Structure 1
Amino acid sequence: MAADIKGENQPYDDINITPMLDLAYVLLVTFIILTTASVQGVKVKSPETQAANNLARPQTRAITITADGGVYLDAYPVDMDQLRNSLAQYKSANPALPVVLKADASAQYEKVMQVLEVAKKLDITEIGLVTKRAVAE
């Protein structure tokens, strides 16, 4: 028994860093998940509506029209020709391509119609309009 007591009182030669590494890995994974989960896009003020649950599906392409008339496809600025070409490529890869149109409430209606005409010419039939839920009074 004297040998056991003597062995327990000896100083450690190394430090157990396993708990510290576990914590570092958890923090790293959390950081990766939080940074990749952020939604990319262009901020606009959407018009309000009483319709609910306007949810975009996976592989949905987002077209955004800003108040000054700028058009963005998935957060990248495009003109009408680039929009037509990009949507045609996406449509060839996915014939049932869903598209959401997110326009600023003060955007020119003509620009919205141009985007809708591009979608119609490409035979894109699944188009959703993004709005905000109006506050009930």
Structure 2
Amino acid sequence: MAFASFDKKGGSAPLAEINMVPLIDVMLVLLVIFIVTAPLLTHAVKLDLPKVDSVANDVKPNKIDFAIDAQGQRFWNGEPVSRQEAQARFRAEGQRQPQPEVHLRADHSTTYQRVAETLADASKAGLAKVGFVSQPEAR
């Protein structure tokens, strides 16, 4: 490989070509290395794992419809109850797993004290899922 010429006129000018042969050699060596090492990187251990068929147990929690009318009367799933009876039922339901959801419906003219007492009773019993149920105004 001669880079210089014997011509005196063009001999002082630099040569602006890139010699590609060393780059191709390096590329071919890397290609051979990757071809040899690629099968070694896919090392796998074969295991015979057991096959299982199972269905998830989706236990739906019970729902308690608790209502308070305009006179302050409490209803447990439509059945009239006193505050003491409601407290006892809340304690019994608070021990169950999964805990039931309490859907609280209160009349518009019910005092907030009745609603607050019911929320406090449910909270003391350990019930954490209490939701308010309301109906939109008719237009």
TM value normalised by structure 2 = 0.52
Matched, 1:90 2:117: no
Report 1 or 2 for greater relative contact order, CA contacts < 8 Å, sequence distance ≥ 6. Answer: 1
* TM-score, normalising length: structure 1: 0.53
Q: Partners in 2 of 1:94 and 1:75 — Cα distance? A: 23
1:128 to 109, 128, 131: 131
**How many angstroms apart in 2 are the aligned matches of 1:114 and 1:88?**
14
- List gaps (5 residues or longer) in structure 1: 1-56
Q: CA deviation at 1:97?
A: 1.8
Task: Name the % identity.
Answer: 24
- C-alpha offsets along residues 26-68 of structure 1, whole Å, 9 cap, x if unaligned? xxxxxxxxxxxxxxxxxxxxxxxxxxxxxxx862101100001
Q: Which amino acid aligns with 2:76?
A: L
Report the CA distance between 1:90 and its aligned residue.
Answer: 2.1
Aligned Cα root-mean-square deviation (Å): 1.9
Aligned with residue 112 of structure 1, among 111, 115, 121: 115
Instruction: Find the structure with the greater CA-based Rg.
Output: 2
Runs of 4+ in 1 over 4 A off after TM superposition: none
Pairwise CA distance, 1:94: 3.0
